[in-house]
């Protein structure tokens, strides 16, 4: 049933030009103040412009309301509500019932080494990877066999790639399995895009560092992750030691030569070689910063990820420190000064860990902040702290492939010796990766 007000038989020009409320349908109404609307219409925009402005206001109001809806749930709140679902509760009961009662030896060791919060555990891990490898240098001769270093490098590659492929990448895109409950994965439009971008940024950050150091050294050396330069320096130190011994024997046989000739020759170091040693220290300091970032981001992801990353970085640091030690000896450092320089560069690891902890705490993943949900990146649930783990994975991919694999691909003329060395290297890679599966 329609209701109609007083009929209007004839529209005046004034009514057509104005905004007449009697045009509302299906109920038609007229009011005494229609004339005032008609007079005011001279000062208002046209009907089309008015409708456009009204639509814009409605759209703006809708967008504002969408951002201020009080019913929006965070990822933690969604997880909490899902855990109260009857189906999820039954799955949790089944998982707890089938859970092995005994804890693995590896888990017990990790629990002893990392007993506290993510921040404290990250600092402990930094201490573990910085102290023992440097103390081992006291037992390491400067003229270590390059083939032995090559096997150590292959072992480190297996550990780094194993940690990246077995732990870091699954944790980044899927998350870690909980021992007592099932978990869900929220699929967001831009989440995987941002995570992949973080991996690429980490990878090309090390590409840029490598390129800059190659330019600084005139193309003779790369980033300190390149163990090929380390092997060459070790070989040079070994040959130098042999030359020194042969020179001493010749000097004993011939007393006509002045005894200071050999000493003067030994003290003279090529300035470019000495510069390369100092540049290597700078590169080592920078590399240790990234190690600290990796450790902090991994422990904030989960204790297991942090522990496996610590093991991978530790096994990588041993051949890395040995190679740097030999390079510093070649650059004119004494054994004591070379060890001291390595301890100084270890400060970079603590600096990187502290920076990573600050990013995690201020980026929304920390335990020292309140429970307010931080704003996500590009409309996702990701925070800046969540981007450190993809960055770490990108750096590990570069170190384990571009920086080290080319050295393992190098071969000599002796085919039998190269086959034996190749088999040994592959076994070392498998051993390093196998430790990451334990």
DSSP states of 259-304: THHHHHHHH---HHHHHHHHHHHHHHHHHHHHHHHHHHHHHHH-HH
Q: Quick one: pLDDT band at residue 293, thresholds 50, 70, 90? A: very high
Higher pLDDT, 124 or 239: 124
Answer yes or no: is pLDDT of 229 > 80. Answer: no
Which has the minimum average pLDDT: 17-21, 42-46, 191-195, 304-308? 17-21
Answer yes or no: is pLDDT of 26 > 90. Answer: no
Average pLDDT over residues 15-28: 42
Average pLDDT over residues 374-390: 81
Q: List 4's β-bridge partners, or say none.
A: 28
Q: Quick one: pLDDT band at residue 350, thresholds 50, 70, 90? A: very high
Higher pLDDT, 139 or 423: 423
The span from the first CA to the last CA of the chain, in angstroms, equals: 79
The CA angle 50-55-58, to the nearest 5 degrees, is 125
Q: Quick one: pLDDT band at residue 316, thresholds 50, 70, 90? A: confident
3-class state of residue 58 by DSSP: helix
Which has the minimum average pLDDT: 170-174, 208-212, 270-274, 344-348? 270-274
**Closest-CA residue to 358 (of 116, 122, 111, 115):** 122
pLDDT at position 426: 95
Where do the domains of the chain lie?
Answer: 13-60, 106-437
The share of the chain scoring above pLDDT 90, in percent, equals 26
Distance of alpha carbon 329 from alpha carbon 233, whole angstroms = 9
Average pLDDT score over the chain: 74
Distance of alpha carbon 387 from alpha carbon 376, whole angstroms = 11
pLDDT at position 260: 44
**Closest-CA residue to 312 (of 294, 330, 327, 326):** 294
**Is 195 buried (19+), middle (13-18) or exposed (0-12) by CB count in 10 A?**
buried
Highest mean pLDDT: which range of 18-27, 36-45, 64-73, 374-383: 374-383
**How large is the C-alpha radius of gyration of the chain?**
34
- pLDDT digit string, tens, across residues 101-160: 777 788 889 999 999 999 999 999 999 999 888 888 877 776 677 777 888 888 989 999
Helix intervals (H) in 98-174:
105-113, 118-136, 146-163, 169-173
Higher pLDDT, 225 or 346: 346
pLDDT at position 329: 82
């Amino acid at each position: 049933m329609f209701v109609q007000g007083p009929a209007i038989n004839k529209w005046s020009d004034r009514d057509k030009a104005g905004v007449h409320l009697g045009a509302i349908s299906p109920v038609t109404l007229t009011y005494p103040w229609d004339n005032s609307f008609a007079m005011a219409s001279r000062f208002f925009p046209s009907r089309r412009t008015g409708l456009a402005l009204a639509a814009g206001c409605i759209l703006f109001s809708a967008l504002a309301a969408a951002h201020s809806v009080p019913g929006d749930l965070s990822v933690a709140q969604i997880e909490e509500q899902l855990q109260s679902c009857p189906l999820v509760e039954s799955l949790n009961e089944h998982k707890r019932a089938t859970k092995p009662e005994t804890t693995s030896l590896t888990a017990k060791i990790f629990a002893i080494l990392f007993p506290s919060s993510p921040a404290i555990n990250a600092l402990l891990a930094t201490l573990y990877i910085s102290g023992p490898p440097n103390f081992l240098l006291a037992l390491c001769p400067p003229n270590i066999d390059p083939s032995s270093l090559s096997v150590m490098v292959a072992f480190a590659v297996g550990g780094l790639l194993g940690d990246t492929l077995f732990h870091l990448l699954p944790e980044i895109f899927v998350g870690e399995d909980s021992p007592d409950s099932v978990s869900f994965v929220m699929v967001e439009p831009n989440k995987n895009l941002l995570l992949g971008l973080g991996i690429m940024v980490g990878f090309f950050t090390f590409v840029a560092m490598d390129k800059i150091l190659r330019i600084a050294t005139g193309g003779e050396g790369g980033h300190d992750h390149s163990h090929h330069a380390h092997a060459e320096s070790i070989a040079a130190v070994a040959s130098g030691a042999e030359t020194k011994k042969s020179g001493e024997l010749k000097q004993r046989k011939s007393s006509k030569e002045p005894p200071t000739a050999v000493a003067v020759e030994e003290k003279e170091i090529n300035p470019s070689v000495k510069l390369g040693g100092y540049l290597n220290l700078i590169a080592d300091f920078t590399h240790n910063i990234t190690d600290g970032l990796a450790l902090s981001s991994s422990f904030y992801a989960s204790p297991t990820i942090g522990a496996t990353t610590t093991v991978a970085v530790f096994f990588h640091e041993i051949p890395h420190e040995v190679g740097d030690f030999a390079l510093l000896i070649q650059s004119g450092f004494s054994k004591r000064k070379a060890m001291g320089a390595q301890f100084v560069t270890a400060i970079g690891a603590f600096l990187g860990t502290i920076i990573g902890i600050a990013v995690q705490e201020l980026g929304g993943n920390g335990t020292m902040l309140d429970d307010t949900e931080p704003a996500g990146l590009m409309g996702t649930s990701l925070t800046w702290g969540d981007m450190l783990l993809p960055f770490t994975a990108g750096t590990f991919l570069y170190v384990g492939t571009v920086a080290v694999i080319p050295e393992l691909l190098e071969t000599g003329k002796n085919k039998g010796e190269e086959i034996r060395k190749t088999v040994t290297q592959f076994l070392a890679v498998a051993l390093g990766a196998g430790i990451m599966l334990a």
